[in-house]
Amino acid sequence: MDFQRARSDEQRAQRRRHILEVTAGMLTEMPVAQLSLNELSRRVGLAKANVLRYFESREAILLQLLDAELRDWLTELEEALTPVQGTPRERGDRLARVLAESLAERPVLCDLISAQAAVLERNVSAQVAIEHKYATLRSFRALAGLARRCLPELGPEDAFRLTGFISLAASAAWPYIQPSQALTAEYPDDPVVAAMHVDFAGVVRQILEVSISGLLERREDVPLGAGPLAGIPHDIGQE
C-alpha cells in the first residue's frame, strides 16, 4: 500500500480500515496486553504520530475493533441461534451452550471483552468512550433479540439483562484460561492444581445456564433496575 498522506475521506477511511485489519491480525499472535502502538505502527508502515492521526490512542483502536468483533459474532449467531423444540429449561441450556462455545471459538473477542473496562476505556476521550458504549448497547440489544428467538419466555427486559451476564461471564473467565508458565509446569506433577485449570466454554456455559434458569424462575419478581445493566432501558439505541 502507498502510504502517502490520505487526503480524501475515502482514503482516510481506507487507512483506518487497514490499521484495524493489522491490529486484528496482531491479536491472533499476541494478547491485548502485549500489543504495542510502536509495533502496530511498524507493521502498518506509518510513524506512530501518523497512526494517531486516525485514532487517538492504542485503546481507541482496540475499542473500535471490539465493536467490529461483536458485530461479527452477532452475524455468526444469527445462523446458530435458530428456534428449536423443547421445554424452557432445555432451550435455555441449549442457548447457554451455543453462546459459550461460540465465544470460546473467538479468542480475540474474549480477550478484548476482558480488557474492556479495566484497560481499554482508560486512555480514551469521553467522546470515544461514549461512542463505544452506544455501539455496545446496540450489539447487546441485537443479542437480546437473538436470545428471545430461542427463548421468548425471557421477555425483552430479561433478555437484555442476559446480555450483561454474558459479557461479565466472558470477562471474568477469560484470564483464567492462560495460567503462568510456572503454574503450567506444575500440572504434570500435581493433579490437584491441574484440575483447577479453567475450561472456558464449560465455565461460561454453566454460568449462563444458571443465569437463564434464574431469570426464568424470577421473571415476575425482579425489577428492570436490578440487573447488571441497571438503569438502561432495554430498547436504547433503537433507530
Domains of the chain, each with CATH number or no CATH: 1-55 (1.10.10), 57-226 (1.10.357.10)
- 220 pLDDT tier (thresholds 50, 70, 90): low
Instruction: Give residue for cell 440489544.
Output: 141
> What is the residue type of 94?
R
pLDDT at 64 over 80: yes
pLDDT for 190 equals 77
Give the separation between CA 193 and CA 186, rounded to whole angstroms: 8
Residue 188's pLDDT is 78
Task: Tell whether the model's pLDDT for residue 175 goes beyond 60.
Answer: yes
pLDDT at 233: 58
Under DSSP, is residue 138 helix (H, G, I), strand (E, B) or coil?
helix
Q: What is the mean pLDDT of residues 41-58?
A: 94
What does the pLDDT average to over 185-209? Answer: 82
pTM of the model: 0.83
Least confident of 174-178, 179-183, 186-190: 179-183
pLDDT of residue 53: 92
Residue 221 above 60 pLDDT? no
Of 38, 40, 28, nearest in space to 69 by CA = 28
Model confidence pLDDT, tens digit, residues 84-113: 899 999 999 999 999 999 999 999 999 999
Within 8 A by CB and 6+ apart from 63, the residues are: 116, 120, 121, 124, 128, 129, 132
Pick 127 or 226 by higher pLDDT.
Answer: 127
C-alpha distances in Å from residue 9, one per residue of 41, 44, 52, 60, 212: 21, 19, 16, 19, 45
39 has a pLDDT exceeding 80: yes
Residue 35: what are its φ and ψ, rounded to 5°? -80, 115
* H-type alpha helices, the chain: 9-27, 37-44, 48-51, 58-80, 88-104, 107-115, 126-150, 155-173, 181-186, 191-195, 200-218
Confidence band, pLDDT 50/70/90 cuts, at residue 224: very low
- The mean predicted confidence, pLDDT, of the chain is 87
Cell numbers linked to 165: 451476564
pLDDT in tens, 115-173: 999 999 989 999 999 999 999 999 999 999 999 999 999 999 999 999 999 999 999 99
